[in-house]
Structure formats: C-alpha cells, structure tokens
Amino acid sequence: MEQDRHIYIRGVINDTSHKITLPKFEMKKSNQTIIQHMSRFFEYLDIEKGVSNKTQETYSRFLQSFVRWLEENNLKELKPHQLTEDHIWKYRVSLSRRVNSKTKEPIKKSTRNYYLIALRALLSYFADRDIFSLPAEKVKLTKEGKERNVKFLELDQIIKLFSSIDTSTRVGLRDRAIMETLFSTGLRVAELVSLDREQIKIKKDTDILEVVIVGKGDYPRTVYFSKRAVNALRNYLNTRKDKEKPLFIRYKGPKTSSKRLTPRSVEGIVKKYAKKAGIPITTTPHTLRHTYATDLLAQGVDLRVIQEFLGHRNIATTQVYTHITSQKLRDIHREFHSGKNMKEE
C-alpha cells in the first residue's frame, strides 16, 4: 500500500445465497495544511450543504480560535492527517482555561462545545472529501450536566418591565413595541431586528397578526402577534414618518449608516428597562423568549406545538422547559397540597 493512501472497505453484504462486496475507496493524505483548507471548507458549507450565512459566520468565528491555537503552538503547517487525538485534547484544555472578557469567569461548558462542534464540522468535511484525518467523533463534547439553567420572568415581573417604559415619546413607543413583540412571538433577537415594515400589515380593524419569518438555519415559520403587541406596533408605526425599510430603527447615531437596530442595541434596551423596573439586570431578549415558552407550557400547550412556535429543529431543545414547569408544579403542590393543615396520626 502506498504511504500516502489509506484504503477502506465501505461494507460487505452476506446471505446464504450470494455475497456482494462493495467497492473500496481511498482516503488520501492532503499536501495542504489545515489552515489552507479553511476557504474550501466554507465554500463546501455554502454550496453543498446550503448552510446559512449566519451559521457560516458563527463557524468562522469559532474556527478562528482553533487557527490561533495552531499558530500559537507552532502547528500552522499541520496537515489534516497529522492531527492527533493529543492535539484535540490540548486544544480542549486551552478552551477550559479560557476566560470570558466581561465576567472574568471561565467560559461556559456550552460555549466550549460550540468551538468543538465547529471543529467537528471541519473534520466531517475532510471525511466527505476523502481526505485522511481524525474522524469527527474523536472530538468529544464537554458534558454539560442534565439540567440547563433557563432564566425566565414571572408575570408580575413582565408587568413591571412593560410599565417602566415611558410611552409618551417615540423612543418609548418603539421600545414598548419591541418588548410586546418579543413576549408575544418568542422571536430570537436576530429575527426581531430582521423584520421589515412591509411584513407588518396592520389595518384599522386588525387585532391579531400572523407573519411568516425566516429564522435560524433559514427555516421559515409563522409567528403570532397578540392584540397587545398589535396595538403597541400600531402606536409605534403611527410615529414613523420616514421611508426606512426596517421595522425597528434607531433615532441616534451616524446619518450615513443603516438605521436598523442591531441585536446588541435591543439587548441594551431590555437591560435598561430591567434595571429601571427593579428586576434582574441579567434579563435579556432571550429571557423573554424563555418566558414566552415557559408560559405556554404552564398553560398546557403541547410541547410539539411550542417547538413549532420557537422554531426548534429538535424536540430535545424544547424539552428543557419541561424541567422548569415541573419544578413550578412541585412548588405549587408543596404549598397548597402538602397536608400541612392535617394532624399527624
């Protein structure tokens, strides 16, 4: 066997009457370094896998970390077939020691896994191109534990949050419309800021609204605006005399750049009112999404329906909310049906 080729057998089918041997295929050692393969990898994601631009940007950001690690460890000339499990282990150790620049705490296990998932995708690309390298399954993800910490708001906190907004100004009307939309639809913040005015067709007699959006992974879904959200949007749009395309725009900043609000801007808006309302300042747009889902489940809505509402591709992602509602039910049972008013026999 030539040194630069690794031959594998796809599989053999046997039964009592005949035998079929499937053809062999060759895994070739590449002359290019892992870093040199990056541009082709992203072309592959775009053209063959149809991965959205947003996902490509995310993979690029996480793989840049791996590239920097290779460079810092004098491995920038490393080729796919030279990558070992020891390299992977050392990279995982470096991730475990990485510190969040804002919190000064080690990055979360879930965040570490995002870096590793991006690396897995690169190794899967090598396998798909018959380039000899480590199998993707050799990159083990960090165990996150059984329970995920999901933060959500109680109804009284939602009321305080909305009530803290001064709707006598156009900025206040915009911010109230943002809050009502997030809570009514369960939109991700990136989906919210991507909305355009032409999608929101509110007539004089409109009290509920259905809008088809293209969400994460370029998957379309329908989101539903409540009467409250429709009224908030109507009040906000009545103040708009401009011809800007975005639904939610900024009123300050450079005149030459886009008026569309960014996800970071919306995060700042939510945080500002959370602080003003006296609720946890860790409240984010995603907290309102969690609150939306938790409220639906508590009201008895089927988990599969909530999965559709949220745009989750996998039901396992939605099941995290069952723990939250189960805990609430346990607390209610303990408080109201514990038999505390009964005498011990």
- What SS3 class is residue 218? helix
Q: Name 31's Cβ contacts closer than 8 Å, sequence gap at least 6.
A: 79
Instruction: Please tell me which residue in 272, 276, 286, 323 is annotated as part of the active site.
Output: 286
Respond yes or no: is residue 290 known to be catalytic: no
Alpha-carbon distances, residue 182 vs 131, 261, 287, 296 (angstroms) = 45, 14, 10, 14
- Tokens coding 175: 């911010």
In 3D space, the residue among 173, 144, 178, 168 whose CA is nearest the CA of residue 268 turns out to be: 178
Instruction: Please tell me which residue in 321, 334, 337, 343 is annotated as part of the active site.
Output: 321
**Buried b vs exposed e over 278-314: b needs ≥16 C-beta within 10 Å?**
ebeeebbbbbbbbbbbbbbbeeeeeeeebbebbbbee
Respond yes or no: is residue 6 known to be catalytic: no
Strand partners, 20: 13
Residue 9 DSSP class: E
Respond yes or no: is residue 289 known to be catalytic: yes
Rounded CA-CA distance 302/307 in Å is 9
What burial class does residue 147 get, using C-beta atoms within 10 Å of its C-beta: 0-12 exposed, 13-18 middle, 19+ buried?
Answer: exposed
Q: Parallel, antiparallel, or unpaired for β 19-21 and 12-14?
A: antiparallel
Respond yes or no: is residue 273 known to be catalytic: no
Respond yes or no: is residue 340 known to be catalytic: no
Respond yes or no: is residue 312 known to be catalytic: yes
Instruction: Please tell me which residue in 112, 188, 236, 273 is annotated as part of the active site.
Output: 188
Helix residue spans in the chain (DSSP H):
38-47, 53-72, 85-96, 109-128, 155-163, 170-185, 189-193, 227-237, 263-277, 285-298, 303-310, 315-318, 320-336
- Tokens coding 116: 């590793």
Instruction: Please tell me which residue in 109, 216, 234, 272 is annotated as part of the active site.
Output: 216
Instruction: Please tell me which residue in 37, 79, 289, 290 is annotated as part of the active site.
Output: 289
Residues with catalytic roles: 188, 216, 286, 289, 312, 321
